[in-house]
Each structure stands twice: as C-alpha cells, then as structure tokens.
Amino acid sequence: MKKFFTLICLAVSFSLFAQTTIPNAGFENWTSQGSYVNPDSWDSPNEISSTLGIAVVEPESSIVYEGSYSAKISVKNSIGGPLPGVLTLGDFDFSFITMTATIDGGTPFTGRPDRFSGWFQYTPNNNDECFFGVMLLKENAGNYDTVGTAGVFINQTVLTWTYFDTIIDYRTSDTPTHLNIIIMPSNEANPQVNSVMLVDALEFHYTSDINEHGNSNLNIYNDGNFIHFPNLDNNEKTIHIYDLNGRLIKESVQTETKISVADMPEGMYIIKLQNSEGSYSAKFIR
C-alpha cells in the first residue's frame, strides 16, 4: 500500500517542542478568508476554487481520528476540468496566464526529525493515488536548498483510519530553516474527479535507541517481554501498538508503567503512548 523512500530505523520519538513540530498537525484550527476557509498555517487552492463556488479542502467534523476536525481534500469537477485539492505549509499560487500552479517556500522550522507519520482514509477514483511529501529546506540568499525529504504514496481504497509512517532521507547535515509538507489526493499529472482523502494527526518523531540504552529523558526501555516507561507516573495513559503496516496489534488504557509484549510475534512494532502531558512514540523489536 505504501512506497517508502528509505528503510525504517529503530527509534523512540517525542513531540514536545513547538519549533520542531508540525503546525496545526491535527487540523483543529480553521480560519475564514471570506468566501473560503483554510486550516491555520496551511495553504490550499481554495482561494482560486472559491471563485467557482468550489472548495477542494474542507474541515470534516463527522469523520475524525482525534479531536474535533480532520482535513478533507478532494478532486472536484469544474468548467475547466478536474480541480484537485492540495494542502501545503508553503505558498500555493496559480497563474491564469500560464494556467499552472506552483508551491513555494515553507514555514520556519529548525528540527531534524527522523520520521513522519499520520492517519488517513482514502477513496481513489480510476486507480488514482494520493501523496504525502515532506521537504526540509535551508534558506540561502533567498533560495531554498533541500536538506531532507520523505514521501508516501497510497493507491488503494482505505475506508477506516489507517496509520502511515516513513523515515526522512537527509541529503546534508545542515540544520533546516524551513519545512514544507504537501498532501495531494490525486496524481498531479492526471487528477481524477471524486478522489477524496481524509487526513488527521500528523506527527514528526525524533530518534534515540531504546532497545539497548533506553532514553534518559523519557526513560523508556525494552527488556524483551515488557516495554517500560517508569517516569510517565501512574496516571491514566492510552497505549497503542501497531505493526509496520499500520495494523493495530494491541490497545490499552492503564495506569501501570509497563505493558507486556511477550504474547506478540517476533518483529518490529510501533508503540504510541499518550497522557495528559503529551504523546510519545517508539519503534521496538520483539
């Protein structure tokens, strides 16, 4: 279902600092621009499509993974042909002279995340495929050099919330100055009317090896039979464990500071923990 640009690494990740996380990653905040709305921090073709009475990016309140909203991105029909939706952290522009769209720039960002993940549903039309792309950029005299990239393509119908996870491929050791994420519900070269995707809970992950060394801040470690997280205290926490295809393997709401993985087949998994202080995720080998 997915094409990963690079192999997945063993990691524990944290989403703690605003300057190194994805803005409005859960699409909870939307602002009216008069005749259309956009999710805060994101741009879309809605400014152009609204002149035709069409919205190709919309807030969705009835089908969400978490929170109150997800983003619905569609390809709709217009008098000029298929009109594809796009979400970007850069600037979307359309030239009526050349009849071409461009996406430039990005939002200020200084992190070097290892992985990019999120949740989606997708209904393609005519064997279409949707796309998630990440570009980490460094501004240089008004131009942008590429520091790292990631991409995921999906070409199957997915009618329930499904997890994707891919690592970021770095080209240089530079620290980025800007981030752009581009999300499209259709093949850009041949958009198909009525292809629709829903997106929610995007996230970046930052790496540290937990299988041998643990982590001094979170203190999460794997002893082969249990995943331990002793300094997440005894308050209620939600735990999900997924395989690398995004299938939910185990789910628990508990106050204990460890969870058994002894009954799971050998392999690599993702554990996601969430409590009142934030969310944490890790990859581990059983």
User: How many whole angstroms separate alpha carbon 54 and alpha carbon 112?
Assistant: 37
Count of beta carbons in the 10 Å neighbourhood of residue 144? 19
Give me the pLDDT at residue 219, please.
67
User: How many whole angstroms separate alpha carbon 49 and alpha carbon 51?
Assistant: 5
Residue 114, pLDDT above cutoff 70? yes
* 63-67 contacts, C-beta under 8 A, 24 or more apart: 63/121, 63/198, 64/200, 65/119, 65/161, 65/200, 65/201, 66/26, 66/200, 66/201, 67/26, 67/27, 67/28, 67/200, 67/201
User: How many whole angstroms separate alpha carbon 74 and alpha carbon 176?
Assistant: 31
**47-89 pLDDT tens trace:** 999 999 999 999 999 999 999 999 999 999 988 889 999 999 9
- Give percent above pLDDT 90 in the chain: 53
Nearest to 270 by CA among 199, 213, 222: 222
Residue 18, pLDDT above cutoff 90? no
Residue 149, pLDDT above cutoff 90? yes
Give me the pLDDT at residue 215, please.
41
**150-183 pLDDT tens trace:** 999 999 999 999 988 888 999 999 999 999 999 9
Percent of the chain that is helix, strand, coil (3-state, to 5):
5, 50, 45
Give me the pLDDT at residue 207, please.
55
Residue 282, pLDDT above cutoff 90? no
Give the distance from CA 274 to its chain's centroid.
17
**232-249 pLDDT tens trace:** 777 788 998 888 667 789
Confidence class for position 272, pLDDT limits 50, 70, 90: confident
User: How many whole angstroms separate alpha carbon 234 and alpha carbon 258?
Assistant: 10
What six digits make up the tokens of 56? 């190709």
**184-209 pLDDT tens trace:** 999 988 999 999 999 999 999 875 43
pTM above 0.85, yes or no: no
User: How many whole angstroms separate alpha carbon 247 and alpha carbon 230?
Assistant: 26
Q: Are residues 281 and 273 in contact, defined by beta-carbon separation less than 8 angstroms? A: yes
Structural domains of the chain ordered from first start: 20-205 (2.60.120.890), 221-285 (2.60.40)
User: Where does residue 53 rank: exposed (0-12), middle (13-18), buried (19+ CB within 10 A)?
Assistant: exposed
Q: Are residues 201 and 263 in contact, defined by beta-carbon separation less than 8 angstroms? A: no
